[in-house]
Chains A and B, each alone.
Chain A
Amino acid sequence: MTSTLDSGTVLAADTVGRPAVNISIFALFVVVTLAIVIRFSRNNRTATEFYAGGRAFSGRQNGIAISGDYLSAASFLGIAGAIALQGYDGFLYSIGFLVAWLVALLLVAELLRNTGRYTMADVLSFRLRQGPVRTAAAISTLTVSLFYLLAQMTGAGGLVNLLLGVKGTAWQNLTIAVVGVLMIVYVLVGGMKGTTWVQIIKAVLLVIGAALMTFWVLGKAGFNLSSVLGDAAAASPKGDAVLDPGVKYGATTTTKIDFVSLAMALVLGTAGLPHVLMRFYTVPNALQARRSVAWAIGIIGCFYLFTLVLGYGAMYLVGADKINAAPGKVNSAAPLLAFELGGTLLLGIIAAVAFATILAVVAGLTITASAFFVHDVYNSVLKKGTAAPDQEVRVARITAIVIGLVAIVGGILAKDQNVAFLVALAFAVTASANLPTILYSLFWKRFNTRGALWSIYGGLISAIVLIVFSPVVSGKADSASVIKDSSVDFHWFPLDNPGIVTIPLAFFLGWLGTVTSRERVDEAKYAEMEVRSLTGAGAERAEVPPPRTEQDVLPEPV
């Protein structure tokens, strides 16, 4: 395996470890989780059961599931890889991804839980005009979910080469299809309850795997972080620069502004991610929503600290050349490090965890997107709220199948494309289209329908337009854009990340739309919303008694 290091082409055709081991461990994961999903989801007839798991999860369970939902392949494989290749600049991502949770904790989670039922649109339409606002929120959510789904599915295809040792288009397509079908099964059978259990199991495996590798790397270095950093810098072709910020984003003023723009989208985007927001409705009350976020912050924070060590560890234990030469490139740093440390077995475990990661995130996105479609568009707008609960659930299941099929086809079509930007785009869209309207409607009494529509559509459209005319889509050298032919160049927006323009724009449009509209504030509705959001009076209850009582004091996670 290491003898072929010098010729990248030979290595690229190789696989690491034994595919049979990887596949077996992954199959074991699927069997175990499916059994659990079937065991725990006898009862998915009502909409609350299907979308919100009966609101019966405890804060700790939900916090672990949130981590499972949030720590996508992009954060596990992507950040470790980015640190391994670019050093400090990769670490910057994880900080944005973590600090963002404070927005959710302080401003969003509890108020949202008290006010809504299933989706963020419940909160937006609480005192604004239902039809247009729900439609706008559903459009932005479906867009974000599809971007995110596509990125995950394509990521799955890319990983296959490395981890399962399958070569050739047909096998890759088959793997994407298998991931898609599994995800549909989890969602259909398990609903939110089943999906949540998949995420809990996956999060536990992921954190244990990462912790194991972290202590292994640290142990090899005598538990001396400084020596890990020193060895990493010595092994890197970029030298000491990998310990400082700037390797990736420090080249010109434009790239520096681009980085600030990305940082803005990361910190403000998380609290608007639809699949994250939806998780707050699976707990019985605001207190458990608070517990959820606290647990999530603890787990996600520890995990990102692990990736710091894993990334620098891979930098010298694996080496940049080997990572770049491997199929899957930057994403292969963590699996290669696992192989370097623990051989075939550890690689198999980490590979299975990586697949489980994709599966769980994809299932979470699918159930979110179908909930938004059915609850906000089908029932609230088309049926004017008259759909019977079992009818709503039936349509939700059909929607989940359709979304799954779209994701499979999209994933297959886009598998050779560079779609990593879709995740960054999803964050830019949620930070621009979702967060401003959520904050305005919770905290600004005068906010009205026009403000919400201008903010959502303005944020959504401006983010997509700027991306289309950015270097991400056309004009980068070395085929780094989506359109690989560098002679096709229609970009005029200089930045890869539109957030620095679109987020302030969306806040501004929300204000402008509001002050130019003559819609009157509905005092009674506003009073109801504010009282509900802060006290929980009249908030949706759990359908079954929560597993733990209020008085049960959970240990603080941090």
Chain B
Amino acid sequence: MSTIQSSSGEAPPGVPAGGTESYLDLRRSAEFGELRRGFRRFVFPMTALFLAWYFAYVLLAAFAHGFMSHKVGGNINVGLLFGLGQFLSTFVITAVYVRWADRRLDPAASALRARFEGTQGEGTPVGGETR
């Protein structure tokens, strides 16, 4: 796409140009690029993973009855284990994501927001409090 508005001065990435940093400047900054890359690098593969696992399960349940009804022990069969496996994987992915986002995503996002809102001069206190 077109890279317009390179007129805002070739300030080094991350340094507010002329006191007020616009959304465009912030978006072009190295820190924001890193935040977005990190976010996408986590959520896109994770989404691909759980969708692949879910549809594999759905297709097995629809077309591989023999395999799914194989008894593993007592009346527990492969289908039930795979179904419970979907619950387990959903819980695990949720926990992993929440942990990752709390530790990695939030500090980076808060720092960028504090910087942005500081330079915008909205008069919002940003020190530590992240509403």
* Chain A residues close to B by CB (< 8 Å): 88, 91-92, 95-96, 98-99, 101-103, 105-107, 110, 225-227, 229-230, 233, 243-246, 249-250, 256-257, 259-260, 263, 267, 284-287, 290-291, 293-294, 297-298, 301, 304-305, 445-446, 521, 523-524, 527-528, 530-532, 534-538, 541-542, 546, 549-550, 556, 558
Contacts and interface: CB of A to CB of B under 8 A. Distances in A.
A537 B51 contact: no
B15 interface: no
A243 B70 CA distance: 10
10 closest cross-chain pairs (CB), A and B? A226-B74, A244-B69, A229-B75, A527-B27, A528-B23, A245-B61, A537-B116, A558-B91, A537-B113, A527-B23
Contact of B91 (A230, A290, A301, A531): A301
Contacts of A98: 86-87, 90
Contacts of A523: 1-2, 4-5, 24
Contacts of A243: 69, 75, 77, 79-80
19 contacts: A99-B50, A107-B43, A226-B75, A226-B76, A244-B68, A245-B69, A246-B65, A267-B54, A286-B109, A287-B102, A287-B130, A294-B98, A298-B94, A301-B87, A523-B24, A524-B24, A531-B32, A535-B109, A536-B113
Contact of A88 (B24, B32, B51, B80): B80
B87 A229 contact: no
A348 B59 CA distance: 40
Interface in B29-70: 32, 35-36, 39, 43, 46-47, 50-51, 54-55, 57-59, 61-63, 65, 68-69
Nearest to B70: A244
A527 B26 contact: yes
B101 interface: yes
Given A106-B43, A244-B68, A260 B86 contact: no
B63 to A, nearest CB: 6
A538 B65 CA distance: 52
A85 B5 CA distance: 64
Given A99-B54, A534-B35, A256 B47 contact: no
B95 A106 contact: no
A527 B58 CA distance: 39
Interface centre among A244, A298, A446, A549 (most CB of B within 10 A): A244
B27 A542 contact: no
B26 to A, nearest CB: 5
B68 A558 contact: no
A527 B61 contact: no
Nearest to B43: A106
Contact of A245 (B22, B24, B27, B68): B68
A542 B124 CA distance: 13
A246 B5 CA distance: 59
A230 B90 contact: no
Contact of A95 (B1, B86, B92): B86
Contacts, number: 183
Contacts of B74: 226-227, 229-230
B90 A101 contact: yes
Contact of B131 (A230, A284, A531, A535): A284
B68 to A, nearest CB: 5
Interface centre among A99, A225, A291 (most CB of B within 10 A): A99
Nearest to B31: A535
A298 B88 CA distance: 11
A546 B131 contact: yes
Nearest to B28: A527
A263 B58 CA distance: 7
B90 A297 contact: yes
A106 B112 CA distance: 21
Given A233-B75, A256-B63, A530-B36, A102 B113 contact: no
B125 interface: no
A535 B86 contact: no
Contacts of B46: 102, 106
B83 interface: yes
Contact of A290 (B1, B23, B62, B101): B101
Given A260-B59, A531-B23, A536-B109, A244 B91 contact: no
B47 A106 contact: yes
Contacts of A226: 73-76
B57 A95 contact: yes
B83 A91 contact: yes
B69 to A, nearest CB: 4
Interface centre among B26, B97, B113 (most CB of A within 10 A): B113
A227 B79 CA distance: 17
Interface centre among B61, B74, B113 (most CB of A within 10 A): B61
A334 to B, nearest CB: 20
Nearest to B54: A99
A530 B27 contact: yes
Given A99-B50, A106-B97, A233-B75, A535 B23 contact: no
B93 interface: yes
Nearest to B40: A443
B24 A305 contact: no
Given A96-B54, A256-B63, 4 more contacts: A267-B54, A297-B91, A297-B94, A534-B36
Contacts of A527: 22-24, 26-27
Contacts of B90: 98-99, 101-102, 297, 301
B76 A225 contact: yes
Contacts of B10: none
B114 to A, nearest CB: 9
Contacts of B61: 88, 92, 245-246, 259
Contacts of A227: 74-75
Nearest to B130: A550
